[in-house]
Amino acid sequence: MVAAPFCAFKCTVSGSYNRLVGSFFIVCWRGLAANMPTVGVRRELLFKALGRAYTDEEFDELCFEYGLELDEITSEKEIISREQGDSKAAGASDVILYKIDVPANRYDLLCLEGLARGLQVFKNKLEAPRYRRVRPVSGESQKLIITKETEAVRRHAVAAVLRNITFTQERYDSFIELQEKLHQNVCRKRSLVAIGTHDLDTISGPFTYTAKPPGDISFKPLNQSQEFTATQLMSLYKTDSHLRHYLHIIEDKPVYPVIYDSNGIVLSMPPIINGDHSKITLKTRNVFIECTATDLNKAKIVLDMMVTMFSEYCLQPFTVEEAEVVYPDGKACIYPELAYRKEKLSSEFINRKVGINESTEKIAQLLTRMCLRSRATGVGDEIEVEIPPTRSDVIHACDIMEDAAIAYGFNNIIRTTPHTYTVANQFPLNKLTELLRQDLAAAGFTEALNFALCSQEDIADKLGKKISETRAVHISNPKTAEFQVARTTLLPGLLKTIAANRKMPLPLKLFEISDVVLKDETKDVGARNSRRFCAIYYNKSPGFEVIHGLLDRTMQLLEVKSARGDGYHIQAADVATLLKPPLHMKSLCRKSSSTSTPCKTNPGRLRPPALLIQKLCLVT
Amino acid sequence: MADTGVAETLLRWVEKADVCLLPAVQVISAELRSSKHWELTGEGTEIAEQGSHEARVFSSIPLEGLAQSELMKLSFGKIGFSKAMSNKWIRVDKAHEGGPRIFRTVENIEDQVREKLLLVQRGNSCELEEKEKNELKKRRLLSEVTVKSYWITKGSSFSTTVTKQETELTPEMIATGSWKEKTFKPYNFEAMGVALDCGHLHPLMKVRTQFRQIFLEMGFTEMPTNNFIESSFWNFDSLFQPQQHPARDQHDTFFLSDPALAHEFPQDYLQRVKRVHSEGGFGSQGYKYDWKTEEAQKNILRTHTTAVSARMLYKVAQQEKFTPVKYFSIDRVFRNETLDATHLAEFHQIEGVVADYGLTLGDLMGVLHQFFTKLGITKLRFKPAYNPYTEPSMEVFSYHEGLKKWVEVGNSGVFRPEMLLPMGLPEDVSVIAWGLSLERPTMIKYGINNIRELVGHKVNLQMVYDSPICRLDS
């Protein structure tokens, strides 16, 4: 029996290539996941408000359809035990909580009341309530007078009254929680708007919103037993885990905002703290709400949110008592605005944008289910849409169109292929990079992939250069030294890659083709990327000829001849990072007409300092 | 096998070929038979002849005793003395004048060690107990010997001439044709081949190449995204992202101190952007706030490649006549985020954009379906979402067979008119777009749990060396 002389064995690949790829891609579009507020509601209360119980799966499905996300099913006990350990959680409640992620622009879904209302209307179980501003029975509305001192710090204020409200513990908790959620989101951590809520029966109007030097403000703040001056408060709250985040908003101002009642009682010192005197309790029947702001539009939205959400618990549900705000110039405004806006659009517009074909009446019904009360006007396919004060996110017809699509069900829309005819082109620089990478790997070099950001030290000190000599762009707010500058050279990254892989068998042959960033006055932003190629050979024995060979090979691939004048050649030069001449060389090459290759390269041996810092001992 | 020469050769041959050669050749078949027996060591043989050390010590001591120093001079003195002492055959009189002296304590002795060794020598080792043999082995008087023997018979291809097996085919063999007569040593398929000396592409870049390929196959043109530094204007304002948006916070975005500000904008466009933010227009209510050019001028490290999409769409809008475009990009973006096993301060964003007359939400879903099918993902569904510059916005979910649930694989939407109309695009042009990250699919494809092993200098080079080719759809 004669064995086959050639290597004729059968290659059997075991294992399946059918692994499911692509699951868990992380979203990287801005403004979504990171800023999505999470609302925690008690499951039983939610189901009670929704008028039926759901299984967790059913509710998850409903959330998905509506654009919410049931992020977590947990309990207070579970949360405490996770964050502080089992021992602390012993007495905590194990009532089931739903943590629901809400789109960042839907302030009307930030509390149980709003969530339940939105979902009930969506499920056609409830007609969206109509929020009404009413005159006080007494005929005399509460007044908030703004003095001109506020202009230096926080000039806007709005106010309203919730009359004859009934709190329970749950409602009270939700009321406080909504303020907190609004503060964190639309109010931009109280910098744009700060909300103060007060027991109206403990204070008496008219109220004055003014600003005073911190030494002149003195009151008993919420949950404290004694009076403090504003100056004292600022140092007291320096260590408060919650309040310290808001101090910077007014800290450096000469005057601090403050609201007094007609008897000189301090209601609040926005945006930091309310007075203890007027605090809300479960027994509170009449609530005075004030919002002070640097952004009036946002203040109006926030006030509308507070009153629309909680007027449900007033004796006259969904009515809000107006308040009058008087500006320093004498102009008086009535709040809350509770403005209903009407928009007209055609059903053809919605059908065309979404890619569906529904009747005008059907589309009006779809929109009504999204709390946008709509009707076909009868004029052609015209629909009149009413945008309630709760839907401040609707600012364009496209927002209405999206709501129609959500109510229709995104996943009921037929998927179509656009007829857009285009011819594809590669970006020439990337095309060159792609081709070159392949051949550099074929030349025996392995591709590295390093960060574009690094420390000043990496691109300067460690390479024997001064940072001022580099054309590096500098980052103003790095969290660590790793992100001080954008790299100006690929070399530090490759050296660090070798340092981190010293256990690998030698030689290490690495390359990288990627962008560095350089300051460039001629660009609109004052900087530009520059595509670079860097390679490194790391071994016990000298190997300059290897790097030299790679350079020659690269030039060959780029069709640049080795010749003085019209091609490339290598000449000695002095580079700080490299050993003294004549051990290193500089190669120069004329830009060839067809490619935009880098015209200067620096092959050579690295100087010991650069090596020592990288904890390497052998590099050529 | 009378001829010892032949036997020896055969034995050598058999032993060498033992592992794999012989069974295949079958010239002869050899069966290994091994047996064990006990033998005396050199010292053991000496004892068998002359008696044990202790017995010799005993017999060398006369009745009047012997000086210890004298005894120790004998070759067997030292070992024999201690054994004889422990057998209580002799005693030492340390107080004796002229130094310690040794006397016999018994009349006669029985040299059992010698008796046992003699038994073994005569081939009667079976009469000894295992324990005794091991005791003697410990004293290095006995050793156990294994005898290997082969029982050799004719093999199936028995031949009286022995041919050597060749390991390699040589040019000479081919030239002379001698390979026809040769037999070749079979290969050992159990061992790995030699590790080749080769270069490798980085896995993330391999996946990038595939995504590029998919876009190119779908007719998308690559955008020039080689500008990491971007002004807030193009990164945020042009996308109708308000200036107080949390994404524009110091905590989320890297701002530049040098060069801190961008200094050149298309002025009329900038005015339109300012208007749509602060007052509205183009059918929009606007955000109604005080839009500041200084805020727009602030340079940052771009937080998304959508900034480049905005520049490209603006460029398209400047053409005399609008022509439909399909664009894509895959490049680095930067976030001033807290780092962990799945998040870095920089990552690659994949983005696709289509601009044409009359595109619908259904078209976006259709394009996404085609795109993800090329990644091997066919089961998709869409969830309404919020994104400042798209409306409608949809998160893309795919069904994960392993986890038995829907997981998010991307984000998508239709660009808002407030973004497109100030650029000057025709009103009936819609722009649909989607984005995802490159790192995540790569980590799943190559089974990497810690992103630092994949990206950056802490890369595991062995992983780079070992990573297979990238086929996303299989």
Q: Which residues of B touch A16 (CB under 8 A)?
A: none
Mutation choice for B interface testing from A25, A71, A184, A300 by most B CBs within 10 A: A25
Q: Which two tokens stand for residue A510?
A: 């690495």
Asked if omega into A507 is within 30° of 0 (cis), the reply is: yes
Q: Which two tokens stand for residue B44?
A: 């053991």
CB within 8 Å of B95: residues ≥ 6 apart: none
Strands (E), B41-110: 66-67, 90-93, 101-104
A592 vs B75: CA distance, rounded Å: 93
Q: Which two tokens stand for residue B405?
A: 């649930």
* Cβ(B412)–Cβ(B431) below 8 Å: no
Q: Which residue of chain B is at minimal alpha-carbon distance from A67?
A: B384
CA distance A608 to chain B (A): 20
CATH number, position B93: 1.10.10.2330
Q: Please name every residue paired with B352 in a beta bridge, in sequence order, or none if there are none.
A: B328, B434
Q: What is the residue extent of each domain of chain A? A: 34-123, 132-335, 341-410, 428-590
CB within 8 Å of A392: residues ≥ 6 apart: A107, A301, A304, A305
A512 vs A528: CA distance, rounded Å: 19
A277 vs A288: CA distance, rounded Å: 13
Sign of CA dihedral B418, B423, B424, B427: negative
* A529 contacts B226? CB cut-off 8 A: yes
Q: Which residues of A touch B361 (CB under 8 A)?
A: 353-355, 405, 410, 413
Residue B270 falls inside a structural domain: yes
Q: Which residue of chain A is at minimal alpha-carbon distance from B392?
A: A402
Q: Are strands A319-321 and A132-134 parallel, antiparallel or unpaired?
A: parallel
Q: Looking at the complex, does the CB of residue A35 fall below 8 Å from at least one CB of chain B?
A: yes
Domain count, chain B: 2
Q: Please name every residue paired with B39 in a beta bridge, in sequence order, or none if there are none.
A: B143
Fold of the CATH domain A34-123: Phenylalanyl-tRNA Synthetase; Chain B, domain 1 (3.30.56)
Q: What is the pLDDT of residue A207?
A: 95
Q: Looking at the complex, does the CB of residue A363 fall below 8 Å from at least one CB of chain B?
A: no
Q: Does domain A132-335 have CATH number 3.50.40.10?
A: yes
Pick from A419, A411, A417, A101: nearest CA to B392: A411
A548, A554, A557, A562: CA torsion to nearest 10: -50
Q: Please name every residue paired with A531 in a beta bridge, in sequence order, or none if there are none.
A: A515
Query: How buried is A464 (Cβ within 10 angstroms: 0-12 exposed, 13-18 middle, 19+ buried)?
Result: middle
CATH of A341-410, one of 3.30.56.10, 3.90.1300.10, 3.20.20.140, 3.40.50.11540: 3.30.56.10
Q: Tell me, yes or no, whether B396 and B254 share the same domain.
A: yes
For residue B392, give the 3-state DSSP assignment: strand
Count Cβ atoms below 10 Å from residue B282 Cβ, excluding itself. 17
Residue B191 falls inside a structural domain: no
CA distance B318 to chain A (A): 18
Sign of CA dihedral A389, A393, A395, A397: negative
A477 vs A497: CA distance, rounded Å: 26
Domain range for B95: 40-147
Q: Which residue of chain B is at minimal alpha-carbon distance from A509?
A: B199
A328, A333, A334, A335: CA torsion to nearest 10: -80
A406: nearest CB among B216, B225, B384: B384
Q: What is the pLDDT of residue B464?
A: 94
Residue B160 falls inside a structural domain: no
* Cβ(A23)–Cβ(B444) below 8 Å: yes
Residue B190 falls inside a structural domain: no
B360: nearest CB among A353, A442, A525: A353
Q: Tell me, yes or no, whether B208 and B115 share the same domain.
A: no
A116 vs A68: CA distance, rounded Å: 12
A405: nearest CB among B246, B372, B392: B392
| CATH topology identical between A132-335 and A428-590 | no
Digitized pLDDT (tens) for each residue of chain B, 474 residues in all: 455 676 777 777 666 654 444 444 567 777 778 888 888 888 888 888 888 888 888 888 887 888 888 888 888 888 888 888 888 888 888 877 777 888 888 888 888 888 888 888 887 777 778 888 888 888 888 888 888 887 877 777 777 766 677 888 888 888 898 888 888 888 888 888 888 889 999 999 999 999 999 999 999 999 999 999 999 999 999 999 999 888 888 888 999 999 999 999 999 999 999 999 999 999 999 999 999 999 999 999 999 999 999 999 999 999 999 999 999 999 999 998 877 777 889 999 999 999 999 999 999 999 999 999 999 888 999 999 998 899 999 999 998 887 788 888 999 999 999 999 999 999 999 999 999 999 988 988 888 888 889 999 999 999 999 999 999 876
DSSP letters along A108-176, please?
GGSSHHHHHHHHHHHTTSSPPPPPEEE--TTS--EEEEEPGGGGGT--EEEEEEE-SB---HHHHHHHH
Q: Tell me, yes or no, whether B293 and B438 share the same domain.
A: yes
CA distance B370 to chain A (A): 9
B391: nearest CB among A9, A398, A483: A398
Q: What is the pLDDT of residue A277?
A: 93
Query: How buried is A65 (Cβ within 10 angstroms: 0-12 exposed, 13-18 middle, 19+ buried)?
Result: middle
Pick from A547, A557, A546, A553: nearest CA to A602: A547
* A527 contacts B440? CB cut-off 8 A: no
Residue B17 falls inside a structural domain: no
Q: Tell me, yes or no, whether B301 and B409 share the same domain.
A: yes
* A501 contacts B439? CB cut-off 8 A: no
pLDDT digits (tens, 9 = 90+) for A532-579: 998 888 888 777 788 888 888 988 898 888 877 777 777 766 665 554
Radius of gyration over every alpha carbon of chain A, rounded to an integer in angstroms: 34
Q: Which residues of A touch B244 (CB under 8 A)?
A: 188, 192, 295
Q: Looking at the complex, does the CB of residue B231 fall below 8 Å from at least one CB of chain A?
A: yes
Q: Looking at the complex, does the CB of residue B212 fall below 8 Å from at least one CB of chain A?
A: yes
Q: Which residues of B touch A438 (CB under 8 A)?
A: 201
Q: Which residues of A touch B435 (CB under 8 A)?
A: 27-29
Q: Looking at the complex, does the CB of residue B140 fall below 8 Å from at least one CB of chain A?
A: no
* A429 contacts B224? CB cut-off 8 A: yes
pLDDT digits (tens, 9 = 90+) for A290-318: 999 999 999 999 999 999 999 999 999 99
Q: Tell me, yes or no, whether B209 and B354 share the same domain.
A: yes
Q: Which residues of B touch A516 (CB under 8 A)?
A: none
Q: What is the pLDDT of residue A147?
A: 95
CATH number, position B293: 3.30.930.10
Q: What is the largest CA-CA distance in chain B?
A: 135
CB within 8 Å of A508: residues ≥ 6 apart: A446, A498, A501, A536, A537, A538, A539, B461
Residue B26 falls inside a structural domain: no
Q: Are strands A266-269 and A256-260 parallel, antiparallel or unpaired?
A: antiparallel
Helical ranges in B162-320 per DSSP H: 171-176, 203-217, 232-235, 267-278, 293-297, 306-317
Q: Which residues of B touch A614 (CB under 8 A)?
A: none
Q: Looking at the complex, does the CB of residue B358 fall below 8 Å from at least one CB of chain A?
A: yes
Pick from B408, B381, B404, B380: nearest CA to A71: B408
Place of tokens 């690929």: A490
Q: What is the pLDDT of residue B12?
A: 73
∠ CA A342-A295-A300, rounded to 5°: 40
CA distance A43 to chain B (A): 22
For chain A, residues with pLDDT lower than 50 are 1-34, 579-600, 607-620
CB contacts under 8 A, A 462-521 vs B, are 473-479, 482-483, 486, 493, 496-497, 499-501, 504, 508-509, 511, 515, 517, 519
CATH class of A428-590: alpha beta
In order of B213, B318, B441, the CA distances from B220 in angstroms are: 10, 20, 20
B431 vs B7: CA distance, rounded Å: 89
Q: Which two tokens stand for residue B283?
A: 């059918």
